[in-house]
Amino acid sequence: MVKADKREIAIFGAGCFWGVEETFRNLKGVQSTEVGYSGGTMPNPTYKDVCGDRTGHAEVVRIEYDPTQVSYDELLKIFWDNHNPTTPNQQGPDVGSQYRSVIFFNTAEQERLAKESKIKLEKSGKYKQPIVTQIVPAEPFYRAEEYHQQYLMKQGIKTCHI
17, pLDDT greater than 90: no
Buried b (16+ CB within 10 A) or exposed e, 105-130: beeeebbebbeebbeebeeeeeeeee
Largest CA distance in the chain: 53
Has residue 130 been placed in a domain? yes
Of the pLDDT bands very low, low, confident and very high (cuts 50, 70, 90), residue 162 is very low
Per-residue pLDDT, 152: 72
Report the residue count for the chain: 162
Has residue 161 been placed in a domain? no
> Which domain covers residue 117, as residue numbers?
8-155
Task: Give me the mean pLDDT over the 60-82 stretch.
Answer: 97
Has residue 31 been placed in a domain? yes
Question: What CATH number should be reported for the domain holding residue 76?
Answer: 3.30.1060.10
Domain count, the chain: 1
Choose the weakest-confidence range: 10-14, 99-103, 151-155: 151-155
Task: Output phi, psi for 100, to 5 deg.
Answer: -65, 160
Has residue 135 been placed in a domain? yes
Has residue 162 been placed in a domain? no
What is this structure's pTM?
0.92
Measured CA to CA, the distance from residue 71 to residue 77 in angstroms comes to 10
Active-site residues: which are they? 16
4, pLDDT greater than 60: no
